[in-house]
Amino acid sequence: MGKSSQLAEYPGERHGLGASSWSRGRRRGVPAAGLAVAAVLVAVAACSPGGGSGTGSSSSSGSGKSGGKTVITFANWADAEQNTHPGIDAAIKEYESLHPNVTIKSEPVSYSDIDHQLLLEVRSGNPPDVAEMQGDYTFDQAATGDLQPLSGFMTSQWRSQIIPRELNLGMINGQQVAIPWTVGPYALWYNKTIMQKAGLSPTPPTTWNQLLADAKVIHAKEPKVITFGIDSTAREYALDQDWPIMKSMGGVPFSGSKATVTTPPVENFLSFMRTVAKDGYTPEGQKGGYFRQPAASNQVAFTVDGPYVKGVVQSLNHMTNQQFFSTWGVAPLPTATGTHYSTPTDHQLVMYKNAPNKKAAWDFMSWLATSQWAVLNYTLKYENSIPPLAAPTGAVATQLNNPIARSFEKDIIPTVVTPAWGPHYSSVYLDFTSAVQQAMTTSTPISSIASSLQSKMTTDLGG
């Protein structure tokens, strides 16, 4: 994994210094600040002849042919963030140099805005050809019916080079609508130095009770250290992170349109979050990426995060790889039932049905995800992520030959499950994350919080 200047959270504000404020020559689409105007334009388009058809046109989308070249529009947040902008810019230039008859027209959009903006563009019949997606966003876009099924582009040889579990994450309602670009499942990072100073064996806890016991010892010896970093904001990202923990405790907060909050696993999770807050192990209300910067100063003992910790820590404290591996380890998230789970923070690539040259769009997507150049010079160097390759070779295999990457590949990726992403997830995440915050900051009985949450979620799920 390469180094980067990541300082905050992933992706979007999670993956760097935040969205940049500059506009760039390749930009097309609606600026993030102009979403309100975009909504008006969508309404106008819907009332005009052909408005809202979703078919698009090469003249309106900037796709198709320009000056004899094939133009592929690419909506992404990589180009909107300071730390990944140089990498994706270099990747686009490299691809264009290899394909002189193709121009990639990048649309930089912040992570927090891209889902909503693309939904607006779909409604106005003006989506891009290709887009970067993540998590529930892919399900939102698939629900429009405007994502291009990709199976027809995939040869058996192409499929064989992709980690099957990662490819399956892009399968929605029986259709392959996304391919993996960068792979980043949640794992438990642990600081061996802090554990040893506290008199503990520098091995990761395998159960949540063991983690709490280790946290208690560390907090008593090192009260200024953040013992356990976990996202506790009121965002979908927080529920993404909570999901595998609850599942490892034996349950999830809803299934289909049925709320299942007033069950022992979910109530146990709320109690767990109360403990880590009340006992001083974690600061409440922080984003997951918040813990990366103090981790560089040996001020975090355990944290739930993707592969990105390594790049952030080394960019800040300039550790060598040997020093990093001696200090930090990564392991599957602990469990209460004997089965470990993780959920993905993967970046995916999708194609829209209106893409005039689908073959060219697919070639660009495939190149970003699987080519040696893109993996070495973008995925590893700027994203600090695992590539989706089942059997890396050459320089990629050499860079991945380290204990952190091997742990992700062998121990953590196999535990990945997909949360219940989709319309239900989007309708109840705020209910759930607000209840978690209530559990962490008040003394209201957990059973009362769960009962109230059960009622809210039942209403919002339409159950």
Residue 100 is part of a domain; what is its CATH number? 3.40.190.10
Q: Is 40 left (phi over 0), alpha (psi -120 to 50) or beta?
A: alpha
Helix or strand run (H / E) with residue 98? helix 85-98
Residues contacting 202, CB < 8 A, separation 6+:
190, 192, 193, 195, 196, 329
Pair 151, 265 in one domain:
no
What pLDDT score does 65 carry?
Answer: 67
If asked whether residues 330 and 228 sit together in one domain, one would say yes
* Main-chain dihedrals φ then ψ at residue 334, nearest 5 degrees: -60, 175
- Decide if 81 is inside a domain: yes
Tell me, yes or no, whether 319 and 359 share the same domain. no
Asked whether residue 75 falls in the same domain as residue 18, the answer is yes
In terms of domains, do 176 and 291 share one? no
Q: What are phi and psi of 264, to 5 degrees?
A: -55, -45
How far apart are the C-alpha atoms of 78 and 441, rounded to whole Å? 35
DSSP, collapsed to helix, strand or coil, labels residue 439 as helix
Q: Are 231 and 288 in contact (CB under 8 A)?
A: yes
Which amino acid, one-letter code, is at 292? R
CB burial readout 169-179, b (16+ within 10 A) else e: bbebeeebbbb
| Distance (Å, whole) CA 149 – CA 141 | 12
Q: Which bin fits 201, alpha (ψ -120 to 50), beta or left (φ > 0)?
A: beta
The two structure tokens encoding residue 380? 């590893």
Q: What is the rounded distance in angstroms from the CA atom of residue 95 to the CA atom of residue 370?
A: 13
What is the reported pLDDT for 6? 32
Provide the greatest CA pair distance for the chain: 72
358 and 442 assigned to the same domain:
no
Dist. CA 324–CA 328, nearest whole Å? 6
Structure tokens that stand for 117 in this block: 């903006």
1, 307 contact by CB (below 8 A): yes
| Phi-psi category of residue 199: left, alpha or beta, with phi > 0 → left and psi -120 to 50 → alpha | left
With respect to residue 65, please indicate whether it lies within any of the assigned structural domains. Answer: yes
Domain assignment of residue 397, yes or no: no
Closest alpha carbon to 369 in 342, 353, 346: 346
Instruction: Tell me, yes or no, whether 140 and 31 share the same domain.
Output: yes
With respect to residue 7, please indicate whether it lies within any of the assigned structural domains: no
Does residue 276 sit within a domain?
Answer: yes
Give yes or no: residues 332 and 431 share one domain: yes
- Take residue 43 and report the two structure tokens written for it: 């309404």
CB 428 within 8 A of CB 460: yes
Q: Are residues 212 and 137 in the same domain?
A: no
Same domain? 353 vs 442: no
Q: Looking at the structure, do residues 306 and 272 belong to the same domain, yes or no? A: yes
| Entry pTM | 0.85
Q: Which pair of structure tokens corresponds to residue 102?
A: 């193709």
The closest alpha carbon to 424, from 457, 384, 391, belongs to 457
Each residue's pLDDT expressed in tens, for the chain with a length of 463 residues:
433 333 333 333 344 333 222 223 343 443 433 433 333 333 333 333 333 333 333 333 456 666 679 999 999 999 999 989 999 999 999 999 999 999 999 999 999 999 999 999 999 999 999 999 999 999 999 999 999 999 999 999 999 999 999 999 999 999 999 999 999 999 999 999 999 999 999 999 999 999 999 999 999 999 999 999 999 999 999 999 999 999 999 999 999 999 999 999 999 999 999 999 999 999 999 999 999 999 999 999 999 999 999 999 999 999 999 999 999 999 999 999 999 999 999 999 999 999 999 999 999 999 999 999 999 999 999 999 999 999 999 999 999 999 999 999 999 999 999 999 998 999 999 999 999 999 999 999 999 999 999 999 999 998 6
C-beta separation of 426 from 143 below 8 A: no
Decide: residue 33, CB within 10 A, 0-12 exposed, 13-18 middle, 19+ buried.
exposed
Residue 87 lies in a domain: yes
Please check whether residues 130 and 234 belong to one and the same domain: no
Closest CA to 139 of 349, 421, 430: 421
Number of Cβ atoms within 10 Å of the Cβ of 202: 15
End-to-end CA distance of the chain: 45
Residues spanned by the domain of 91: 12-183+346-390
Question: Could you tell me how many helices (H) and strands (E) the chain has, helices first?
Answer: 20, 14
Q: What proportions of the chain, in percent to the nearest 5, are helix, strand and coil?
A: 50, 15, 35
> For residue 222, how many other CB atoms are within 10 A of its CB?
16
What single string gives the DSSP state of each residue in 266-280?
Answer: HHHHHHHHHHHHHTT
Give the pLDDT of residue 238.
96
The total domain count for the chain is: 2
Residues 6+ apart with CB under 8 A from 22: none
| Pairwise CA distance, residues 111 & 137, whole Å | 10
Q: Tell whether 398 is covered by a domain.
A: no
209 domain-assigned: yes
- Reported residue count of the chain is 463
- Phi, psi at residue 336, to the nearest 5°? -115, -5
pLDDT of residue 68: 79
